[in-house]
Amino acid sequence: MSARRERLLATLLEVTVPILALVAWGVASSGSETYYFPPLTDILETFADTWLFERVGSDVVPSLLRMGAGYTIAVVLGIALGLLLGMSRTARRAAAPIVEFLRAIPPPALLPFAILVIGVGNSMKVFIIAFVCVWPILLNTIGGVTGVDPTLRDTTRVYGIDTRDRVWRVMLPAASPQIFAGMRTSLSLALIMMVISEMVASTNGIGYLVLEWQRTFRIPEMWSGILLLGILGYALNGIFVLIERRLLRWHRGARASALS
């Protein structure tokens, strides 16, 4: 009984604490005279004025499209190359030093390179997002493919299953939990690179606006942009987890039945 009550209390706390934190922010900032920290109510009002829905078409959608394009390219390339490198030991060994080096470069350091070679347009942003997001997916795909149960691997070989079926029916499903882990890491990277690339060179987009507002000291607008980016980060992560849970249901199911 008491265990149940404790669980109930815990669930209640989990929901109420973030709300309380928000209320605390509202109360602490209400009537704030500090220029840099306007009252939360001001920020929310500005948020509604600024983002709903005037700037959705001019800034939010372009930002999200660039991010989506870069991320999609990274997913396709990362999984394809990961399968290739995962299934061939020779290719993996040959590519290892180059992969290790490119992955270790802090991504923003490549922005000047991308601006120089591609220019400041959309393709530069898509390129830099794709370039940064590809590594976690690539490495996780390699890890997932090389981690396939050796018995399973040998069985497919003994039964003479051809490469196409082996990739689609054995390797990809077996590696998918790890691939998804990489894709999740990359999704937050995609958002980060979207913001940075817009801050450095852009004429529209959420990242561009937030920095522009800071430079022109439009503080409530700046806060509303930060708030929007926070909401985007949270929502994208939430959507991803929902999709992952649905697509990998068979995996969890298999795990659970193997354990019981």
Cβ-in-10-Å burial (0-12, 13-18, 19+) of 115 comes to middle
Nearer to other proteins, 128 or 179 (CB): 128
180: preceding bond cis by omega (within 30 degrees): no
Query: Minimum Å distance from CB 172 to other proteins?
Result: 23
Task: Please work out the total of residues on this chain that contact other proteins, with binding judged by CB under 8 A.
Answer: 57
Pick from 102, 161, 172, 181: which binds other proteins (CB under 8 A)? 102
Residue 217: left (phi > 0), alpha (psi -120 to 50), or beta? Answer: left
Nearer to other proteins, 14 or 162 (CB): 14
Query: Minimum Å distance from CB 35 to other proteins?
Result: 9
Regarding 191 and contact with other proteins (CB under 8 A), the answer is yes
Regarding 117 and contact with other proteins (CB under 8 A), the answer is yes
Six token digits for residue 71: 């991320």
Six token digits for residue 235: 């929502």
Nearer to other proteins, 79 or 200 (CB): 200
Question: Which residues, at least 6 apart from 130, have a Cβ–Cβ distance to it below 8 Å?
Answer: 69, 70, 71, 73, 74, 77
Pick from 44, 64, 77, 211: which binds other proteins (CB under 8 A)? 211
Six token digits for residue 83: 């399968």
Cα-trace Rg, the chain: 23
Regarding 1 and contact with other proteins (CB under 8 A), the answer is no
Which of 56, 104, 92 lies closest to 205, judged by CA?
A: 56
Regarding 242 and contact with other proteins (CB under 8 A), the answer is no
Interacting positions 130-149 with other proteins (CB under 8 A) = none
Query: Minimum Å distance from CB 168 to other proteins?
Result: 28
Regarding 183 and contact with other proteins (CB under 8 A), the answer is no
By three-state DSSP, how is residue 30 classified?
coil
Query: Minimum Å distance from CB 165 to other proteins?
Result: 29
Interacting positions 27-86 with other proteins (CB under 8 A) = 36
Cβ-in-10-Å burial (0-12, 13-18, 19+) of 210 comes to buried
Regarding 106 and contact with other proteins (CB under 8 A), the answer is yes
* Residue tagged 């840099």 (tokens): 36
Binding site for other proteins (CB under 8 A): 6, 9-11, 13-15, 17-18, 21, 36, 90, 93-98, 100-102, 104-113, 115-117, 188, 191-192, 195-196, 199-200, 207, 210-211, 213-214, 219, 222, 225-226, 229-230, 232-234, 236-237
